[in-house]
Structure 1
Amino acid sequence: MDNAAAASALPHQLSNVSSTFSTAFMRFSITLVAMAFAFYCLYKFIFVGNKSKSTQPSLPPLLVKPWPIVGSLPEMVRNRPTFRWIHKLMEDAKTEIACIRFGDVHVIPVTCPEISRQFLKTQDAVFASRPTIMSAEVTTKGFLTTALSPMGDQWKKMRKVMVNELLAPVRHRKLQNKRDSEADNLVRYIYNLCMSAGGVVDVRVAAQQYCGNVPRQLLFSRRYFGKGKEDGGPGFEEEEHVSAVFTILAYLYAFCVSDYIPRLKGLDLDGHEKIMKEALRVVGKYHDPIIDERIQQWKNGEKSVKEDPDDLLDVLICLKDDKGKTLLSADEIKAQLAEFMIATVDNPSNAVEWAMAEMLNQPEILKKATEEIDRVVGKERLVEEADFPKLNYVKACAREAFRLHPIAPFNVPHVSLEDTTVAGYFIPKGSHVLLSRTALGRNPKVWEEPLKFKPERHLKEDGVSLTLTEAELRFISFSTGMRGCKGILLGSSMTVMVFARLLQCFSWSIPQGNGPTIDLSEAEDSLFLAKPLVAVAKPRLPAHMYPVHLA
């Protein structure tokens, strides 16, 4: 019986042994596979990973070793103005593209035209956004506008409005009478100074008031917010308005600490936010009542859609969406018109002041430009926009002023929408790309005698383009690409007009006691002339050519 029982139990014991062996073998197999996978991962990490890492592009040269969390913000704050510090770092490092980390943001300054073209031509769509920073946010009432807003549906909506409605060529032609009126008023203003003040003219005031009057006419059909002055010059209201606009421009994208560490927003560590909001309050003080009243006039039926719009404010109010409803809110209109003013007033006025200063120091250039106007236009009528295609030397002088003396050290920042590679360097998503206006225009690899004012360098056999742009980014007058300036035609027309009228209508000289030449030093904290240009004007046309009374 014992043997029989043992015999009957044997298969069961063998089954248990087999089961135990199978379980052990399975565990061994799993362990072996796991070890093999671990060795494979280790191999990939050590060998393949290192190989991949060695071929991955690096960031552009770091100009300053960043601190944890804050990056190079302490150095930024200690070295104001920041734009001069950045340019000095790049010169010392002998690099045309660099990287500085402010907070978590990689700021990429560029001084080379070829590399600039890779950003704004080859990979334009990748760099088609704007940073969401404090100064741009408050200026645009929460990014409701075109030029300063990040990529998105709101930008696309407002861009369509700007291109198809406000700045379309047909609209430009319809509003020519308003631009002509302000060109006449400029001549009247300076002529009256010749009669009453010995011809001593603050060219900066004259140029800025013209460049403030033109958009006021285009937007609101008015030259003055107040009574103005009898001589055609700006009154207190216009001076305050233009001053506020230039203050906004000075602090827009001015390297504010909270732009790079958003948690600090509201603390206003730089004081920028307070200054911006006060300047915007002044602009709103003059703009908003006009806009509110006009909107109400349209609601009350005091204005009719059957009539041609009087100005660009009427255009914006009349716009309808696909369902026939009002397209733009009051805030969108206010924000867009403020941005329009900001984008219009600075570039032409700065270029003309610098060009006049340079030409007073080189009288032969002044004479050559004046002789061209006399040859094309004569002395029995004033320069008109129709004359611009033939005024090639005058346009060359304006282009040279844009090249050598840009209004701002950098263009409006472009933000990378994704990781990419440019010029062999890794550009992370969210990087702020800054093309240097000063370094591009004064690049000795591109321009012979880059610091000399030499208009002849822009003359070509087929003439000089009416739009004062530079397609190859050898300098920046008006920005290019998807986020390029949509008002190039308006800006170019204003620049050539103010310049041509000053040259045609008056002879210019340096005031006695000011020395033989104009001091061309730049201001420390901006690219303006350190001292506003003051020159002596004398009428050079028959007396009946000067407007005396204007509406």
Structure 2
Amino acid sequence: MEMINSFIPFTTLLFVFMAFAFNIFLFKSKLLGNVDQKAAKKPSLPPGPKPWPIVGNLPEMIKSKKNTSVSQWIHKLMKEMNTEIACFRFGKVHVITVTCPEISQEILKKQDAIFASRPLTMGSEVLSRGYLTTAVVPFGDQWKKMKRIMVGELFSQARLRLLHEKRVEEADNLVRYVHNQCSGNADEGGLVNLRAVARHYCGNVIRKLVFNTRNFGEGKDDSGPGAEEVEHVQAIFTILAHLYSFCISDYVPWLRGFDLEGHEKTLAEATRVVAKYHDPIIDERIQQWREGKKEQPEDLLDVLVSLKDNNGDSLLSAEEIKAQIMEIMVAAVDNPSNALEWALAEMLNQPEMLQKAKDELDTVVGKQRLVQESDFPKLNYIKACAREAFRLHPIDPFNVPHMSMADTTVGNYFIPKGSHVLLSRLGLGRNPKVWYEPNKFKPERHLHEAKEVVLTEPDLRLLSFSRGRRGCMGVVLGSSMTTMLFARLLHGFSWSIPSNEGRIDLSEGKGNLHLARPLVAVAKPRLLQHVYPC
């Protein structure tokens, strides 16, 4: 009896154990089944050309450089696939391209934190002297440090107000220079190379703000750029052309040093030219502050040199200052100058637009003085012309690349960690689902009753200045430079096509989005003589 009683609990325990084990088996089976279901439901990569083993789509990318350009090849494929998001694999790197405003907003607004880094590339490393700057460096402590300085010290509203007179001085110099080009022919006017004028105005403004000087050398008597400034601006545009140019070594890093495409040599030489003009000024200024010869900042270089840490030591090293100033210079010259050249080319072919711009300026400003920054809020048609140029004729096909810091899903597609994400300036601005007659230059599309026109675009239907936490920190300055460039040239002068040309050729350059030929137009003064700076 005792044996039977002791045996019952044992068998019961065995039964319970077997039931428990069976339930675990069922649970694991169900769990694995759920995992398999989730794996089956995992979003796919965005559509794109089938990659080759190991090299991915690098062969097609290399081939496209010989025929047209990588950006043209990408946009052509996206159009053929009828997709607004695509995936290309270059080596092991997934490159995601986007032409849809809604998907762009998902990237730069909803998931901004995930896409807040930059890829490591040959060009960005050279420009930033080993990732010491802000715009092109990966997410991390250095970026956070430099961003605080850029936002809080260099491009704050208070700082920009203090530098107002320097901007006015360069706006006056712009008018003086163009006036000198046509003053000898009051009736016929003078031929003006507007690409050169616009680029050197932008270069003059940023040199004045940073170094408190327009010229590295003596300049010219007509207020134009000297040989030093010409070389400086040419080097900056060379850097811009090669900074993010789909270099093979950006996707196959062990090829760096072989310089298969010659990009490394070209970039090294261009940055050497820029440094040749910058570094001696920076070294001298650092020494002046150390010796107590300067006490108050007069320009942006002084601000950077005078910053102190909690211990009273210099916050920035000489290398950080030199790298950051080079990055500021590179970021300041291209967007406004390209917009002006394209807009005026389009407007010369549609003279009624030039007349509307002049009518607005005459109504808001009159002819007794030059246009000032305080007039900008009322110059909606002028700003609409600039916006339309940003939309239809962006400076680059893509924005500066973002890099995903984690696996994520965008637009119902899987975006792997480490992907390079490129928002298409060209695809967004010319998207037929967004814009009516997208290939026509129509400033009126940006005009709204009782609403001031601004150059930024929160809904990402176009990309004038980059957005998000990695967005342009100098957007206020960039907008001011752009509007002033447009307003001063259209207010101070009448523009016409040279007599030997019927229309302005609006062809794009080979492999870039610039006008194929620099815009040359006839300028005639349209204000009273005393208004022009002497």
TM class by smaller structure: over 0.9
Distance 2:474 2:425 in 1: 18
Distance 1:83 1:271 in 2: 19
Superposed displacement of residue 449, structure 1: 0.8
- Structure 1: any 5+ residue segments left out of the alignment? 1-25, 27-32
The answer to whether the aligner puts 1:70 opposite 2:55 as a matched pair is yes
Correspondence for 1:231 = 222
Correspondence for 2:532 = 546
Deviation digits for residues 446-487 of structure 1, max 9, x if unmatched? 11111111111111123334x410000000000111001011
Distance 1:241 1:41 in 2: 68
Superposed displacement of residue 262, structure 1: 1.1
Correspondence for 2:310 = 322
Correspondence for 2:101 = 113
Deviation digits for residues 58-87 of structure 1, max 9, x if unmatched? 1111x2211222111111111011111111
Alignment check: 8 A CA contact 1:458 1:464 kept: no
Secondary structure of the corresponding residue to residue 537 of structure 1: strand
Correspondence for 2:291 = 300
Superposed displacement of residue 53, structure 1: 2.2
Which aligned pairs between 1:144-543 and structure 2 lie closer than 5 A?
144-196=132-184, 198-304=189-295, 307=296, 309-465=297-453, 467-515=454-502, 517-543=503-529
Secondary structure of the corresponding residue to residue 474 of structure 1: coil
Distance 1:390 1:122 in 2: 33
Matched AA of 2:196: V
Superposed displacement of residue 49, structure 1: 4.6
Secondary structure of the corresponding residue to residue 456 of structure 2: coil
Deviation digits for residues 494-527 of structure 1, max 9, x if unmatched? 0000110101110000001112x11111112111
Matched AA of 2:228: E
**Which region of structure 1 is more displaced relative to structure 2, 49-58 or 138-147?**
49-58
Secondary structure of the corresponding residue to residue 107 of structure 2: helix
Deviation digits for residues 369-428 of structure 1, max 9, x if unmatched? 111000000001000000001111111111111111111100000100100111101100
Q: TM-score scaled to structure 1, two decimals?
A: 0.90
Secondary structure of the corresponding residue to residue 209 of structure 1: helix
Matched AA of 2:434: V
Distance 1:350 1:423 in 2: 32
Distance 1:213 1:44 in 2: 66
Distance 2:257 2:86 in 1: 30
Identical residues among aligned pairs (%): 64
Secondary structure of the corresponding residue to residue 192 of structure 2: strand
Matched AA of 1:76: M
Alignment check: 8 A CA contact 1:395 1:464 kept: no
- Structure 2: any 5+ residue segments left out of the alignment? 1-13, 15-19
Distance 2:458 2:306 in 1: 35
Query: How many aligned positions are there?
Result: 515
Distance 2:40 2:219 in 1: 67
Deviation digits for residues 27-80 of structure 1, max 9, x if unmatched? xxxxxx9999999978866x545422221111111x221122211111111101
Deviation digits for residues 82-104 of structure 1, max 9, x if unmatched? 11111111011110001000111
Distance 2:239 2:184 in 1: 34
Q: TM-score scaled to structure 2, two decimals?
A: 0.93
Distance 1:431 1:175 in 2: 40
Alignment check: 8 A CA contact 1:396 1:464 kept: no
Deviation digits for residues 107-144 of structure 1, max 9, x if unmatched? 00000001100000111111000001110011001111
Matched AA of 2:424: S
Correspondence for 1:143 = 131
Distance 1:164 1:53 in 2: 46
RMSD: 2.1
Larger Rg: 1
